A and B are shown apart, each in its own frame.
Chain A
Amino acid sequence: MSRVVAALRGFGAFWWDFIVGDDWRIAAGVVLALAATAALTTTSVPAWWLLPVAVTAVMGLSLWRATRTRD
């Protein structure tokens, strides 16, 4: 039984690492940004600009977190 659980855990860990990668905040940010873009398309405001801005912000935040000093 424990071998099955370990195999399932390993399988899940592989796909998590493959898709989500080093920083889960990037994946979460992308999902939120796509949802916000979809929501904006239902209004009269153009929606194309939101995703590039959100992607830049998500990347900037992830880089800042990765490089900040822990004093």
Chain B
Amino acid sequence: MSKNRLTAQADVPSKVTVRGTHRRPNGARIMRDVLLVLAVFAACVVESVEALTIVLAVGVTRGWKATMRGVTAGLVTLAVIVAALGPALTVIPISTLRLVVGGLLLVFGLGWLRKAILRASGFKELHDEAAIYARQRAAAEAAGRSGHGLLVDPYAFTLAFKGVLLEGLEVAFIVVTFGANQNNIGLASIGAVAAVVLVTAVGIAVRAPLARVPENTLKFVVGVLLTSFGTFWGVEGAGGSWPGSDAALLGVIGFVLAAALAAVWWLRQVHDRQYSPDRPGADSTEPVPAAGGRR
């Protein structure tokens, strides 16, 4: 064991629990739990809003019977994934879990953050739920009808099922990995369920895609939080220790947030230079380039 690890462990009053984790001081644990719920809640709001857009478009155009069956099947599949993966992860040694989960969260988080930075700086179109809703409705109206029995409308069932499952899969992974890492899958699930209930309730009330939810800002926040947690756990999983123990998480969040805001500022300058009407050979009708792939 390296010298700095011995020093850091000696400085932090902690008790070893059954899983080999260190029981942290109360204040730090509460802060991490709050951040955990916040990250899962925000990620789940974003994905729920996107799933709601698909479900609304399909339900309004194709009818609600098959659509709701698809939604139910998607939610049950997600619950099975969380129920199966959650306990399985808790038997993995905590350092291995933190290394793997830290790496996965970093890859997910940097993906969210990259997209959010490109959108905030003008290099990628902003996510527009109203436009996506219109596209989904047109596609649902154009599709043919077939099926009987349980699958009264296979198109509506499949689209609703895929929408819920694919949008929810990332959140399921976040719930499982965050929860297992902090030994509190229940708390992570509460954050996710609260977001789904909130978005569903608002969706039923307004019966329209939630275009006014600041989705792009939320994605930026989630990207910062996932990247920060991934960095924090990645270092601990790799065998390192943070100065100040859990309190360092706030410093990591501040660092990632500052770096992300600086990147937005830098790329806005680059964007203005690249698409300035004054630059040599500029064409005012030039489209914004599509940087990055999915969604």
Residues of A whose CB lies within 8 Å of any CB of B are 17-23, 26-27, 30-31, 33-34, 37-38, 40-48, 50-52, 55-56, 58-60, 62-63, 66-67, 69
CB 8 Å contact bits of B1-42 with A (1 = contact, 0 = none)? 011110000000000000000000000000000000000000
User: How long is the Cα–Cα vector from A3 to B230 in the complex, in angstroms?
Assistant: 38
- From DSSP, what is the main secondary structure of chain B's interface residues? helix
B234 lies within 8 A of A42 (CB)? no
If A18-B169, A47-B238 touch, whether A41 touches B5 (CB-CB below 8 Å) is yes
Give 7 pairs: A residue, B residue, CB < 8 Å, sorted on A. Answer: A37-B239, A37-B240, A44-B2, A46-B4, A58-B110, A59-B117, A66-B292
A52 touches B3 (CB 8 A): no
Interface size class of B (residues with CB under 8 A): 35 or more
Which of chain A's residues has its CB closest to B109's CB? Answer: A55
Instruction: List residues of chain B with CB within 8 A of the CB of A26.
Output: 107, 110-111, 114
The CA of A17 and the CA of B111, in the complex, are separated in Å by 11
**A34-B99, A34-B237 are known contacts; what are 9 more A-B pairs with Cβ within 8 Å?**
A22-B294, A26-B110, A30-B110, A34-B102, A47-B235, A48-B243, A55-B106, A59-B110, A67-B289
A63 vs B271: C-alpha distance when bound (angstroms)? 12
- Residues of B within 8 Å of A31, CB to CB, are 103
Task: Tell me the minimal C-beta distance from B271 to chain A in angstroms.
Answer: 7
| Contacting pair A34 B170 (CB below 8 A) | no
Please indicate the chain A residues that have their CB under 8 angstroms from the CB of B53 in the complex. none
B132 at the interface (CB under 8 A from A): no
For the complex, is B137 an interface residue (Cβ under 8 Å from A)? Answer: no
How far apart sit A44 and B121, CA to CA, in the bound complex (Å)? 41
Map CB proximity to A onto B231-255 as digits: 1 under 8 Å, 0 otherwise.
1001101111111000010001001
Query: CB within 8 Å of A: which of B100-137?
Result: 102-104, 106-108, 110-111, 113-115, 117-118, 121, 123
Set of chain A residues within 8 Å of B237, measured between Cβ atoms: 34
* Bound-complex Cα distance A22 to B291 (A): 9
Residue of B nearest to A41 (CB): B239
The answer on a CB contact under 8 Å between A59 and B170 is no
Measured CB to CB, the closest approach of chain A to B268, in angstroms, equals 11
Contact A37–B234 (Cβ < 8 Å):
yes
> How far does the alpha carbon of A55 sit from the alpha carbon of B241 in the complex, in Å?
17
List, in ascending order, chain B residues with CB within 8 A of A50's CB: 235
**Is B227 interfacial (CB-CB < 8 Å)?**
yes
> Contacting B259 at CB < 8 Å: which of A18, A48, A56?
A56
Are B239 and A67 in contact, with the CB atoms below 8 A? no
- Chain B residues with CB under 8 Å of A27's CB are 107
List 8 tightest A-B contacts by C-beta distance, closest first: A41-B239, A47-B240, A21-B111, A38-B238, A66-B291, A37-B238, A22-B293, A22-B292
Q: Is B267 close to A, CB under 8 A?
A: yes
